[in-house]
Structure 1
Amino acid sequence: MKNKLPIFCRLLDQLVARGLLMGLAVWLFSASSFAAGPGSQAAPGSSPLQVLQNSVKNWVAQSGHVSADQVVLAPLDARVKVRACERPLAMDVPFSNAQTIRVRCTQPVWQQFVQVNVAVKASEPQSQSKPDKTAEPAKRWVLVASVPLQRGMTLNETHVQRAQVDSTSMPVNVLEQASEVMHAEVVRDVRPGVPLRSHDIRPTVLVKRGQMVLMSVGQPQGFQISARVEAMQDGRFGEQIKLKNRDSGRELSGRVQGPNQVVGL
């Protein structure tokens, strides 16, 4: 009996050691599997501008039930520097013009307006038969220049008119309503009768740095306060700019609403 006891102890020690080794192996395998999971493969870093553009394309594609490849973004002003956002970007359509998308960040707080257009994919021919030359081409109501438009000109409703034109060779980003050119300026010369595209115009500077502007806070139909403040930077329609109260020296923020008019934020 005395000889059997040491043998039993050695066997028990071996079983315990093997169990610990197996547990260690299982733990190491699990840890390595976890470390090699999808979360460890970081995607290459994108610039804040690329993040903004991709977010807008995906949002417009989901809202309009189209492919992201069909969403065309107008280039931003070269002076605009897009900052990184620590939270998911929020988007909406604040104006009657559905082509203007507002992108907002809550941390840090900023917003940017982006002009978008959705390209219409051409349908594939259903047959190899020759087209009917007697059929009239499809027409579309679009906005065309009624007078020669020169670069830098500030537009109004008298400079444009709606006209029916052949849609077979129509660009995808053509404007359709006169309201789309309000508070806008021409960025390239356009001949009379030529359809206007979103890339032909941009929001005009309605507030200039150093000018005194009228800032309104509240609802027009209800309680509203107005005050004269100084613009600390130039601003186009819909842009957020910095303001300063000369009496108190306090800095404020407002969104450009019209010529020398801002809405307090």
Structure 2
Amino acid sequence: MKSTLFSTFLSLIVAFATAAETEQVIDHQYIEQLAEKTIVDNLTVTSGANIQVKVMPLDKRIKIQPCQQPLSASLSTKKHSRNQYVKIQCLDEKPWQLFVSARVETMVPVLVATTNIARGSTLDNSNMKVEMRRQHSVRGEVLDSAEIVAGARSNRNISSGQAIHKKLICLVCKGESVTIIASNNSFSIKTAGTALSNGSIGDEVRVKNTRSGRVVSARVNAINQVIINL
């Protein structure tokens, strides 16, 4: 009889100990950190960009109940939204849930003018730089690298601090000499030509072959260089 009682008592101790080990220590800070991690893990960030997550502190009057199961966390808003809500759930025998709000800012690299740039001026490291800006404030097809446009010219006035868009500059400028590269998988031919229109990286422009006089369309590849895929 004593042996049976002792065994029962020991089983109860083990059961309580196991429950204590399983039960998470949950407080406001834990919930807020879980919400932030859930947002970071679920958002897709483009190359070179980063996100800044600011979780709104939970009301101190909210009492967090214990939970014997790992908490479940999921986004309850669209991934691209700046205002995020994370649903936190406890799914044990006494379930509960709450929502945590957060502000998300996606920062992207943007090429900007560091001084006023007059129309026709050459772009270089003295008048432009890359800086991180809030994605929602970026408009149009901006550039994110100074290297690829160094040596290009502005075809409009650009104000200091203004984002440099493709349309504001020309890597190939009308009336200037260009190198025309005609290529396929087997060979490549270079010849001289003259640009008949302005173009930025990736744009299609019309160029005149100096030798043949033929006018063709080509894609801007670099400063004063265009490519024709044969």
Q: TM-score range by the shorter chain?
A: 0.3 to 0.5
**Greater strand share, 1 or 2?**
2
TM normalised by structure 2 equals: 0.40
Which has the bigger relative contact order, CA under 8 A and spacing at least 6? 2
**Greater helix share, 1 or 2?**
1
TM normalised by structure 1 equals: 0.35
